[in-house]
Amino acid sequence: MSFLSQGKIVAFPTETFYGLAVDPFNEQALTALFRLKHRALHKPFPLLINDEAQLADLTSSIPGAYNLLIKTFWPGSLTLVFPAGVGVSSMLTGGDSGGIGIRISSNPVAGKFCRLWGGPITATSANISGMAAARTAEEVRKFLGDGVDYILDGGQTPGGMSSTVVGLKNGELQLLRKGPIDFSALNQAIGPHKHSVNLGKGQNMDDLCWNKEFAMGQVDNDEELLQELLTIFKDSSASDLAVLKQAVEKGAPVEARGPAHSIKGAAASLGLEAIRDITAAIEKDCREGSVAVAREKLPRLEILLVMAAEL
């Protein structure tokens, strides 16, 4: 452990290849790691943790869909890209991306290493960027030479594909890198209507397309009244959404049109343009009997309603 605390680089085995560990809170160590790998600064370093509790120090929020993936696939070869917390180095997010890749390794040596260190470590593959990754301690020495300060020899690793990397965009799971865990298995674990995300305040709020100027005009510039109406909308839309989802699930388009229309009307009066537009589209789908098409829009509506609750 003294190597990490001194800003040194340690190679260790993971469930795929050998990885390179430094203290992710040590900027000099991160810089040395970039130099060793000849890695472009816009390509971030993923992290390993040994306990989900450590996510609180690294992320600003934990998307709801990720809870299911963590429960199903961690420890394992799945890297989840979280919204980075305040103070996380840009070298871990690739500049201004705002995301940080994290996983818990299923390799027992890597797991023990993380536990003994007591915090996150970097887990970028042991290689020169763009070249083959090391599967053995001997290959680490061959590929990186004296650039690695210490090697934890855990024997040969399986190799194959690096970890699967996924993120979220507009509440939908996005495959960022193919890996050992198939993307279809991840979507199956989440389920068709479990894409909602626990947004931190201010996360992607531009997607809401809130026309506050219009909303204020509706209430004669009474800020207090507007907030009261937003609170009422939060409660009523949650109830309407539950009815809408139930109707769509059982394939009842006529029953679904009412709650969709209710959310659309309230959103329109409050200048919540994105919610207005998507519920108008859902209402149209139901009017045309296209329940399957309407169902595909529900995860996005849920995300927008979570955003509106932050106003």
Residues 239-262 pLDDT 10s: 889 999 999 988 999 999 989 998
The pair of structure tokens assigned to 300 is 């996005």
pLDDT for residue 34:
94
pLDDT for residue 215:
83
The pair of structure tokens assigned to 49 is 């943790």
CA nearest 307: which of 174, 192, 205? 205
For 2-190, CATH number?
3.90.870.10
pLDDT for residue 200:
40
Q: Cβ neighbours of residue 11 under 8 Å, at least 6 residues apart?
A: 18, 19, 20, 21, 126, 134, 137, 140, 144, 148, 150, 151, 152
Q: How many CB atoms lie within 10 A of CB 33?
A: 22
85 three-state secondary structure: coil
pLDDT under 70 in the chain at which residues? 1, 96, 170, 192-207
* Residue the block writes with tokens 């209430």: 219
Distance CA 90, CA 94 (A): 6
Distance CA 81, CA 77 (A): 13
- What's the one-letter identity of residue 245? K
The pair of structure tokens assigned to 304 is 């927008």
Q: Cβ neighbours of residue 130 under 8 Å, at least 6 residues apart?
A: none
For 205-308, CATH number?
1.20.120.160
Distance CA 311, CA 254 (A): 31
Report whether 181 contacts 165 (CB < 8 A): no
20 three-state secondary structure: strand
Q: Cβ neighbours of residue 133 under 8 Å, at least 6 residues apart?
A: 16, 17, 18, 125, 126, 127, 159, 162
C-alpha distances in Å from residue 276, one per residue of 27, 56, 78, 265: 45, 34, 36, 7
Render pLDDT for 205-222 as a digit per residue (tens, 0 to 9). Answer: 566 788 888 888 888 888
Chain centre distance of CA 103: 11
Domain limits, CATH 1.20.120.160, in the chain:
205-308
Backbone angles phi, psi at 243, to 5 degrees: -65, -40
Domain limits, CATH 3.90.870.10, in the chain:
2-190
pLDDT for residue 196:
37
Report whether 276 contacts 253 (CB < 8 A): no
The pair of structure tokens assigned to 5 is 């605390």
pTM above 0.75, yes or no: no
Helix axes of 291-308 and 253-269: crossing angle, nearest 10 degrees = 30
- What's the one-letter identity of residue 233? F
Distance CA 34, CA 44 (A): 10
pLDDT for residue 1:
66
Distance CA 144, CA 82 (A): 30
* Residue the block writes with tokens 């209507």: 193
